[in-house]
Amino acid sequence: MPIPAPTLLEVSTDELAAWPPPPDTRKQPASYFNTLREEAGIYRFAEPHPNGRPIYLATSWKAVSHILSHIDEFDSNLSHVLPDMAALLNLPYPEVPTRYRPEGIAFTEGEDHDVKRAWANKLFTPERMASYPAVIAEVADRLIDGFIDAGTANMSDAFAEAIPLEVLTIIMGMPREDAADVKRWTDIVTRLSMTAPTAEEIARTEKALDESSDYVLEQCRMRLENPTDDYLSEVIHDQIARDGEFDQNAMVVHVRSMFLAAYHTTAAMVAALIVHLTQMPELQESLREDSGKFRKVIEESVRMEGPLQWHPRSCVKDTVVDGIEVPAGAIVFTSFGAGSHDPEKFENPYEFDAGRRNVMHHLSFGSGEHRCPGAPLARLYAQVGLERLLARTKNLVLDEEASDLTPLPGFNFRIPSRVVVTFDKA
C-alpha cells in the first residue's frame, strides 16, 4: 500500500514574494514547491537579498540538474554573494599560512575542490568500503541490544543518529567515545540559518567550530608523531607529500567538513527509511525475505525524504536556465527536494513506489562535480543497519503519539525530530 500524498495547501502571495519561506512552509514544502514550479522551473523572488542581489529558487528537475552540472555558470564559492554565511567558513587559525581556500569541499571549485574531493574519496575506496559492513553490523547489533527487550525505542537517538556517529569515528580512526562531541558540534552547525545568521547563531557556531578545530588539530598532531594505517594518517601523508609540509588549516577544514557531511544527512536518511517501513508492513516482510530489494527501497525513500533540501550557488555569468534569464551575481538556491518531486520527471511523485523505474535519477545526493562522494557509504549504513533491525524485530510500528516527524530546527536539513517505534522480538 503506497504512502498517501501530502495534503496540498494554498500558498500565500507573501510566501512567493521573498526568500526564505517561513518555518511552517519548510516543514511541509510540497505545496510551495508545486506552486513555484508551475510559475517557472527557476523562480525569481520579487524581493532581493538584503545585500541587494536577486534570489532565485530552482524547483524543476531540469533546472536543478542544469545548475548542478554547469560549474562554469554556477559556482559553489559563496564569499561574494553570501558573505555572512561564508565568513563562518573562514580558516580556524588565520595566523597560520595555507595553500588552500578556507571553505570545505562543498563550497569550493577548481583545483582546490579536486584535491579536497580526492582526500574525501580515500574514505570510500573499494578496499575500505569492503571492510565497513562488518563494522556497521557490529555497531547496529550493539545498539539494538540496548533497546530490544523494551519493545519500543526512540529510533532517532538510539539508532539512526548513533550508527553513523559511531561508525564514522571508527573508520576515520578516532576514539568511539568522541562521537558525542562530534554530534554536539555538528548539531550546532546544522541549525544555522542559510541566508542571514543572527548574532547569537554566529557566536554559537564560531564556538563549535573553534572547539572542533582544536580537536581535529590534536588528532592530526597525534598522527604526525605516530602514524597509523587509519584514514586520517593516510590523508595527512598525502597532503604532506603534495605540499612539502603539514597544512593544519587544510586538514582541520577537511575533517570538520567530513564530520558534517557524513553524519546528519545519513541519520536523516536512516530515520526516514524507518518511518517509511513502519507505514508499509508488507514491505518489511518483503525485505526480510529478500534483502536484494533494499537498494531500490533505499533510493525511493531518499527520493521521498532527501535529508538536504537545498543548496546555494553563485551565478558567475549571465545565463539562461529552463527559459529564464539569470544574471551574474545572483544567488541561486537549488532545491534537491523539489527536483526529486517534479511530476515531469517522476510519475505520482508524492507516492512511495518501491518499484519506481527511474528512481536512480533523484537528486537527493546532488549531481555533477559536487555529487555527494559519501553516497555509497550512506546507502551501506541504511542497508546493513536496517537489515540487522529487521532481522531482530518484527511488526515495526510507528508510535504516532510519541513521535514528532516535523523537521528539526535549521534551514538546510530535513531531519525528523523524533521517531518512536514499537516492535516484537523476532
Show me where the domains of the chain are located.
13-325+334-425
- Residues 366-383 have pLDDT tens digits of 999 999 999 999 999 999
Determine the pLDDT at residue 167.
93
331-335 sheet: strands from edge to edge: 42-44, 55-58, 331-335, 310-315, 74-75
Selected residue with higher pLDDT from 46 and 409:
46
Residues in CB range of 160: below 8 A, 6 or more apart: 267, 268, 270, 271, 274, 419
- Residues 151-186 have pLDDT tens digits of 999 999 999 999 998 999 999 989 988 988 988 998
Report the predicted TM-score, pTM, of the whole model to 2 decimal places.
0.91
Determine the pLDDT at residue 234.
96
Selected residue with higher pLDDT from 151 and 22:
151
Q: Above 90 in pLDDT, residue 309?
A: no
How long a stretch of residues is the chain?
426
- The pLDDT-based confidence of 411 (bands split at 50, 70, 90) is low
Determine the pLDDT at residue 202.
81
- Domain 13-325+334-425, CATH number (from 1.10.630.10, 1.10.4080.10, 3.10.450.50, 3.40.630.30): 1.10.630.10
Determine the pLDDT at residue 308.
86
DSSP designation for 105: G
Selected residue with higher pLDDT from 46 and 408:
46
Q: Above 50 in pLDDT, residue 209?
A: yes
Q: Above 50 in pLDDT, residue 348?
A: yes
Q: Above 50 in pLDDT, residue 346?
A: yes
User: How far, in Å, CA of 407 to CA of 263, rounded?
Assistant: 16
DSSP designation for 228: -
- Residues 219-273 have pLDDT tens digits of 999 999 999 999 999 999 999 999 999 999 999 999 998 888 778 889 999 999 9
Determine the pLDDT at residue 2.
46
Q: Above 60 in pLDDT, residue 4?
A: no
Q: Mean pLDDT for the chain?
A: 90
Question: Would you state the cell numbers that stand for residue 411, as one nine-digit string?
Answer: 534551514
Percent of the chain with pLDDT over 90: 69
Q: Above 50 in pLDDT, residue 412?
A: yes
Residues in CB range of 309: below 8 A, 6 or more apart: 26, 29, 335, 336, 337, 412, 413, 414
- The pLDDT-based confidence of 1 (bands split at 50, 70, 90) is very low
